[in-house]
Amino acid sequence: MTASDADKAGALLEVAKGVLAVEAEGLLKGSARIDSQFLKAVALILGSCPPGRVVVMGVGKSGHIAHKIAATLASTGTPAFFVHPTEAGHGDLGMITRDDVVLAISYSGKSDELLRVVPYFKRHGIMIIALTGDGSSPLAQHADIWLDGSVGREACPMGLAPTASTTLALALGDALAVCLLHERGFTSQDFALTHPHGTLGRRLLVTIEDIMLKGADIPKVGPGTTIRNCLTEMTRGGIGVVGVVEEADEKVVGIFTDGDLRRSLDSNCDIFSTTVAKNMTRAPLTMKAAQLAAEAADVMERHKVNAILVTDAVGRLEGALNMRILLRAGVV
């Protein structure tokens, strides 16, 4: 890299750092201005949802921010959705009910598309929270609650592209969502219910019963089975272990693992005549079908085992699973 290139790179880094500094300044000053109006907004939404929802609206860059705020609210326990102000004026106002609360975002507070639908909200008694950079703007004046989203300057050197202002609007939306989450007592289990396809959802919702081997798929033998025949059953089961159960009542008396097989071979025992009862692991670790699959993963990791048996309340074999099944289910 030449000296000229190094100078250009250094200058660009300073520009990048300057952008972050301007946006951080906007966030800090915005934080200092949070007041009773914010608390009123939280109370209004809590009082309306349920049965109502938060309808988030915005145009242009504010519309993109509104989309994200609506998604965050919805995923953290506050029913919410985005409506484009232009589409609202062409019939989508029918999606908004008297029980809903509108969160309207416009830095100038003068967006024609938003102002055109305000009379509908007023006529139908629909409460409006305005998030703008100007408390004297038409949108702020018509709103029931005004949230101050003003910034001293944008990070854009021309002061034209919304940068610091959209960052602050997004952060204020996050603050609303988190305060509502806190007031509702929303938990990670609640979060998982609305995120069943995510990693957290899988960890918090999938039970052992959902993924374990059941019925004829469970590898199992009686205590009197020879190790040779036990090996055949182990191969059929494909999870590296065999449950050893009493033939009369299917109660688990032991487990025969790959490790037990290796130890049997190392001791030069006759696998054609030695019964599995002589070399099995007695009193094995077991779990219940209703427990979370994530718990099974934790137990296996802590005890350094690759598979585990599942029993009912009286110790009868109900299922089996190994780490490969947990991996396939996305639990680990």
Q: Are 180 and 78 contained in the same domain?
A: yes
Strand locations in the chain, DSSP E?
Answer: 54-58, 80-82, 101-105, 127-132, 145-148, 220-221, 241-245, 252-257, 281-282, 286-287, 307-311, 317-322
Domain count, the chain: 2
Residue 234 belongs to domain with CATH number: 3.10.580.10
User: What domain range includes position 142?
Assistant: 3-186
- Check residue 331 and report its DSSP letter: -
CA atoms within 13 A on the CB side of 126: 25
Whole-number mean pLDDT of the chain?
91
**Are 31 and 149 members of one domain?**
yes
Task: Give the contacts of 296 (CB within 8 A, at least 6 positions apart).
Answer: 208, 287, 308, 321, 326, 331
224-250 pLDDT tens trace: 999 999 999 999 999 999 999 998 899
Do 171 and 235 have their domain in common? no
Among 186, 218, 248, where does a domain finish? 186
**For the ranges 1-10, 90-99, 195-204, 206-215, which has the lowest average pLDDT?**
195-204
Same domain assignment for residues 137 and 220: no
Q: Say if residue 216 is in the same domain as residue 170.
A: no
The three-state secondary structure class of 276 is helix
The per-residue pLDDT for range 131-176, each reduced to its tens digit, is 999 999 999 999 999 999 999 999 998 887 999 999 999 999 999 9
Confidence grade of residue 3 (pLDDT, cut at 50, 70, 90): confident
Q: Which residue has the tokens 């099974």?
A: 296
Same domain, 235 and 279: yes
Q: Within a domain: residue 203?
A: no
Q: How confident is the model at residue 329 (pLDDT cuts 50, 70, 90)?
A: confident
Residue holding tokens 């106002």?
93
Asked if 38 and 149 sit in the same domain, the reply is yes
Instruction: Mark whether 218 and 155 lie in a shared domain.
Output: no
**Cα-based angle 112, 117, 119 (whole degrees, multiple of 5):** 115
Structural contact between residues 38 and 175, judged by C-beta atoms closer than 8 angstroms: yes
How does pLDDT run across 47-93, given as a tens digit for each residue?
A: 886 778 999 999 999 999 999 999 999 988 899 999 999 999 899 99
**Domain-embedded: residue 198:** no
